[in-house]
Structure 1
């Protein structure tokens, strides 16, 4: 998955130079070395290209980065996170560029990973944003309780990571992701809103089309309680701050309202900026908790527009269903990743003990 942790790595990498080239591996390459992907390669190419710190995307990039690869794209050095990435045989993917002195590291974003997000989807748990002992907070949408319990027991036997989110939001991180740009006089300001959970190609294409309707795109991101009240089940998968960062890293977005109301109100239209256009997708939205159309006001004002796009069928639910429908495959992936993480942690502990001694 392309998540805000990747975006933060790209932000750091861009700050080290002037032009950022990002290689994205194919599904086949990732399958060999890490296991099945969540988002398909074309979706990942588009997601990386939509990140505002990226200048160029190299599709089907080799899993091992060599000096020849750097030279081919006129790159002075390679940047990777401070976590070790290895081939299936345990070889360091970046050893060649390290030996050539053309390697730099950035800080990995703690508290988020594809493995951790897949774990949330496997269990469809809300515990990452709300601790509760109630039965519904531990349920999986649409499954009988006995099947849920059986599923959990199976996961436990395989030592699959099902941790709640350990991401700790800070004002500094939000500032790092934000744009330092106000709308100019006369700009057409477009407002859109949504959950933007598991930020994906459907979101990207929607935001791209919305940005084309004006000069400045203001995005409202609903809070966790609002989304759960409207969508029910175990949504959202990602908490509010995780979703805000996912939206802010997108090159089409200028500003975000954090915890925007589900219904578009007069305050939303006037108190941040004077909104000229309110856009929404072609699929009807569920009513607000009071039964009202959330877009009633902009429709009455004649500023409401609907947007259609080619990725309209890609939704958060379709991403989750990929995981749920292939549970065994992803459970096995999670077990391998968990075992690898334990091994690496043990190696690091031994190295620290040795250094101390």
Structure 2
């Protein structure tokens, strides 16, 4: 089936682990769909992934089921080999295989796609820069992220790590309250996730360093900048990164590529849901599917980073607003997204968007201790348009993912060290593209 016939649809094949899904995965799937008529997506089993890299964070059923809800996918092939073979393409009835320009290496140390390349049945698409599973696992490993929270005038840029300029500003202001708040936040993390004293030690050390720095005179702080930068570069299991991690640069073009072109009409029944949708997973996707079935047009509100951080804690969300918006837009049940939606459903919001139903998930076991009454939905409840949907995945939430990462911390540190080195090599050797269409 190597020759593509003009009288039948072109079939393309792309595969992956699809662990902790992000916009890079979705953009690869979107690009793949653009070069074929029918896109077959293959996904590896837990055992296959473990034999070639390490155990995935998300369970096999969670990864498999999520693909059912993603745009651009026509067919799914389960339990495919890590290194695709010609037999894999025949099984998928595909004309060619598709992969990004960052080729993976299998357990034997060879490019996993050599057979496809040698057979002339490999098509290359552009890797999405600024987001990767390695980066996301790194954020979870350090229990940190870019956040806008105000800690007594000192704003951490990566969890407990602070830039030199921010440290200097905090010291110049003579503000010691930041250290106190940081200590309290670590104590909360230790208690919530049952972190051992050994795992918590790096966080405590960072706070101690910060306290020492804050006690220095501002003019002496510049001398400490090089050491601080050097220690922060070794956040991937001891590997000192040669490249600064590339940030995801959102654009209106990318949002447009991910978005639905559908507009609500006067005949539509508009359903509204809102949330953080952090670490988008199958539980989110199936909730959106159920919500969509309540009407004919699904409108999703996504809260901004600052609001989530204030409501849920300074280490959340793990993914920033741009990343979360693209993830939700990749779900095929979503018709429109409000970026930076208000935390509460207001009367003005309902009237402006002509909302007929406001849906909310029943929550999961992670929220078992939270009060049942939620003032954010007072307006739709009084209007009689509120609907609560039972969760299909009550055990799956952000806390679940964090606990898995912590339990396998050493394995994921080793994995991230190797993956970070590969990412740095990719950025060091990449060539400038003449076309930004797939950047």
Same fold (TM over 0.5): yes
1:163: Cα distance to partner?
A: 6.8
Does the 8 Å CA contact 1:19/1:55 hold for their aligned counterparts? Answer: yes
157 and 91 in structure 1: CA distance in 2 versus 1, 3 angstrom threshold = closer
Q: CA deviation at 1:32?
A: 1.6
Q: Deviations over 1:15-42 (max 9, x none)?
A: 1111110000111111121212111121
Candidates 104, 117, 123, aligned match of 1:85: 104
Change (3 A) 1:105 1:137: farther
Gap change, CA 1:164 and 1:81, over 3 Å in 2: closer
Q: For the Cα contact (< 8 Å) 2:357–2:385, is it kept in 1?
A: yes
- Asked whether 1:48 is paired with 2:67, we answer yes
CA contact (8 A) 2:147 2:309 kept: no
Whether the aligned pair in 2 keeps the contact of 1:137 and 1:234 (CA below 8 Å) is no
3-state DSSP class of the match of 1:276? strand
Residue pair 1:82, 1:107 contacting (<8 A) in 2 also? yes
Q: How does 1:159-238 map to 2 (within 5 A)?
A: 159=239, 166-238=247-319
- Please tell me whether residue 22 in structure 1 is matched to residue 44 in structure 2: no
Shift of 1:184: 3.4
Give the CA RMSD over aligned residues: 2.9
Q: Which runs of 4+ in 1 moved over 6 A?
A: 151-154, 160-165, 284-287
Aligned residues: 346
1:335 paired with 2:417, answer yes
2:57 to 12, 25, 38: 38
Partner of 2:175: none
The yes-or-no answer on 1:320 pairing with 2:375 is no
1:148 is matched with 203
Instruction: Report which of the two structures shows the higher radius of gyration computed on alpha carbons.
Output: 2
1:281 and 2:361 correspond: yes
- C-alpha contact (below 8 Å) 1:192/1:278 kept by paired residues: yes
Could you report, residue by residue, the CA deviation over 1:68-106 in whole angstroms, capped at 9, with x for unpaired residues? 211222111111111111111221111112122211111
Aligned-partner Cα distance in 2 for 1:223–1:298: 21
Aligned-pair CA distance for 1:205: 1.4
Contact 2:146/2:320 (8 A) holds in 1: no
Q: Which consecutive unaligned segments of at least 5 residues does structure 1 have? A: 353-357
Normalised by the length of structure 2, the TM-score is: 0.72
1:122 and 1:323 in contact (8 A); partners too: yes
Contact 1:116-1:163 at 8 Å conserved across structures: no
1:30 is paired with a residue of what secondary structure? helix
SS at match of 1:79: strand
Task: Give the C-alpha shift of residue 342 in structure 1.
Answer: 4.9
2:29 match: 10
